[in-house]
Amino acid sequence: MTAKYWGRGPETWTPGLITAKTTGPFELESSAATPGDAASIPKASRVTVDPPSQFCRRNVHYKTGVGCEPATPPPPKNDNEQDIEDESTWLPWGASRDHLTPADTMRSVLSDNSFSRIDEDDIPLSTSSITRAVNRSQDQIEVDSWGFAIMARNLKSLHSLRENGGNMPPHDLKHIHPFHLAASHLDGAHSCCLVLIHLRTTLQGEFSLENNYTNDLGHTVLDSLMINILRSHTSVTPSEVCQGFEKQNRFPGEEVDICGRWDADSRCIRQLYASGRFTIPFEWKHPYCHSSVQTICHLITTLFVIDFSLDINLPSGLFSKRCGRCRKDLKLLPLHTLVMVALYLGDRGTSGETMFGAIATLSCMLAAGTNPCQTAEISVSALLGTDTGKECTHSSVTPSELASLVPDGVVESWPRERQRGWRAFVAVLDFALSGSQDLGVLWGASQTEMLTYRRIKTIDPWVSDRFDIQQLLQGLYDRPRPTNIPLHRDGDGLRQYFDTQGLFHGYGHLYPTNHEVCTRYFMNLEDWRRTTFIDPP
């Protein structure tokens, strides 16, 4: 809680404040008992779990010079008016007072046991021995402070750690893989790409992204983004994605929803854990939505477009196999991995999935330099779980060829909307082989759609009629060109000009805002209760 809310609200989080903020009366009742009163604690099976809203939150990168009216009343004038359950009443910490650093706060609460309700007399260690252990673990506490700040997506806390660390991160920071940690705890409702951008620009040398792009499991940071899509929008299990996840029943970062519907301290999550369940129920998930894909695409831009020192075409560590006959390692490349993600969105996705997110992510990755012609040694039967291992079944295929090898019977078992979206996705892959500059049309239209439309009511479609996937597919079949999208075909009076790469020419054109992609207002984003205004990248 300290890491998440560093810089505003309570400066010291006691067990009582944490309880009041996260679960309120539910937790207060069940936590009132002492450890010896186990009979008074409600059984996990009797805990009621309230599901989160199915509606996404969203962020707006707010730029100076754009008019904006505050959606909440001004904060209170004194600390006594702060309501722990209403963040709009929280005050920023006063700059005139000295504050403990995040690391010093961790040392303090570990030493005095203020983070726990358990009495010191019930701990089988003396306070002095805990204090000595804390003093011997200074570097580890610094590393943990960085990790908590990254997982909490708190830029103020990260800035504080950087400033108080003498501009040099702790040596062991690289062992927690900070870039992968940030990609696993994405929050498209509040911080979007800002944490990764901060790490990208401040961690240099041995801590740089270039030197820490792949973790101990062989996963790239881009792989972490793909995992985020799968865990948030499909029923895929960790072991199906990576052999290194075989013993895990949950993905890293599940407690944070990419489109802002729950967080680690949300009441629904605390109730879920109290009920004895620790994986996100499938019924909580929804399609690969605009808030989610916008965040993923901003991260891809941060990784591969801002600075061209990173090659997006490095091998993926997901869905890797080994031939049962010749023992050859079969590794996918990024676009092949995206094909598998799209396949699982179609086969194991949620009700209402349209595949717009997969198409938009594909157009973003192509704009970022992925090579659609590059081949990888792949066994489709191994990927689909039908390989017997008695003979070599792998061959060198492009992403387009991999997609075409998915059996028709598999695709035809999906809802019609997913079938249409998958065929459009494959058609874009086929078209990408030509290297045509018309690919920029798809990326420009995808950005405009993401920035101007959200599902407001349960009866609303997940994609607007301005981005018609059926018309996109028909255009790719007939011409073939990805230009038969209403946003492009009829959009001269709606959208701003973008170039052949799909980039809008304005300030910060790599991360365009609503007003930079539109010539006039045609959005449906007026529900400001679901909107957070954040700094530009």
Give 502-513 pLDDT, tens digit per residue. Answer: 877 754 578 888
Would you kindly state where each structural domain of the chain is located, as residue ranges? Answer: 309-536
Strands (E), 423-494: none
Q: Residue range 373-377: average pLDDT? A: 96
State the pLDDT at residue 8: 78
| Alpha carbon distances (Å) from 381 to 384, 411, 510 | 5, 16, 39
Higher pLDDT, 136 or 31: 136
pLDDT, one tens digit per residue, over 433-453 is 988 888 888 998 999 999 999
How many CA atoms lie less than 13 Å away from 70 in the CB half-sphere? 5
Q: Which of 11-20, 339-348, 364-373, 468-477 shows the lowest mean pLDDT across its residues?
A: 11-20
pLDDT, one tens digit per residue, over 71-89 is 455 555 555 567 777 777 7
- The pTM (predicted TM-score) of the whole model is 0.85
Separation of alpha carbons 457 and 119, rounded Å? 49
Q: Which two tokens stand for residue 416?
A: 């019609």
Q: Which of 389-403, 502-516, 521-535 shows the lowest mean pLDDT across its residues?
A: 502-516
Is residue 147 within 8 Å of residue 167, measured between CB atoms?
Answer: no
Percent of the chain with pLDDT over 90: 46
pLDDT at 133 exceeding the cut of 60: no
Q: Which two tokens stand for residue 460?
A: 């609303």
pLDDT at 255 exceeding the cut of 50: yes
Contacts of 66 (CB under 8 A, 6+ apart): 513, 515
Separation of alpha carbons 84 and 88, rounded Å? 10
Q: Residue range 145-149: average pLDDT? A: 90
Is residue 213 within 8 Å of residue 284, measured between CB atoms?
Answer: no
Separation of alpha carbons 4 and 120, rounded Å? 26
State the pLDDT at residue 401: 96
Average pLDDT, the chain: 83
State the pLDDT at residue 398: 97
Separation of alpha carbons 480 and 470, rounded Å? 14
Instruction: Output phi, psi for 402, to 5 deg.
Output: -60, -45
Separation of alpha carbons 500 and 438, rounded Å? 7
pLDDT at 68 exceeding the cut of 60: no
**What is the DSSP track for 200-269?**
HHH--GGGSTTTSSB-TTS-BHHHHHHHHHHHHHB---HHHH-GGGTT-SS-TTTTS-TTSS--TT-HHH
pLDDT, one tens digit per residue, over 293-343 is 999 999 999 999 876 668 999 999 999 998 888 989 999 999 999 999 999
State the pLDDT at residue 28: 39
Task: Find, among 280, 289, 209, the residue nearest to 251 by Cα.
Answer: 280
H or E segment to which residue 330 belongs: strand 329-330
Q: Tell me which residue has tokens 């995808």.
A: 446
| Alpha carbon distances (Å) from 139 to 107, 207, 501 | 11, 15, 45
Q: Which two tokens stand for residue 439?
A: 């690919």
Q: Residue range 276-288: average pLDDT? A: 95
Task: Find, among 140, 227, 137, 142, the residue nearest to 182 by Cα.
Answer: 227
Separation of alpha carbons 497 and 35, rounded Å? 65
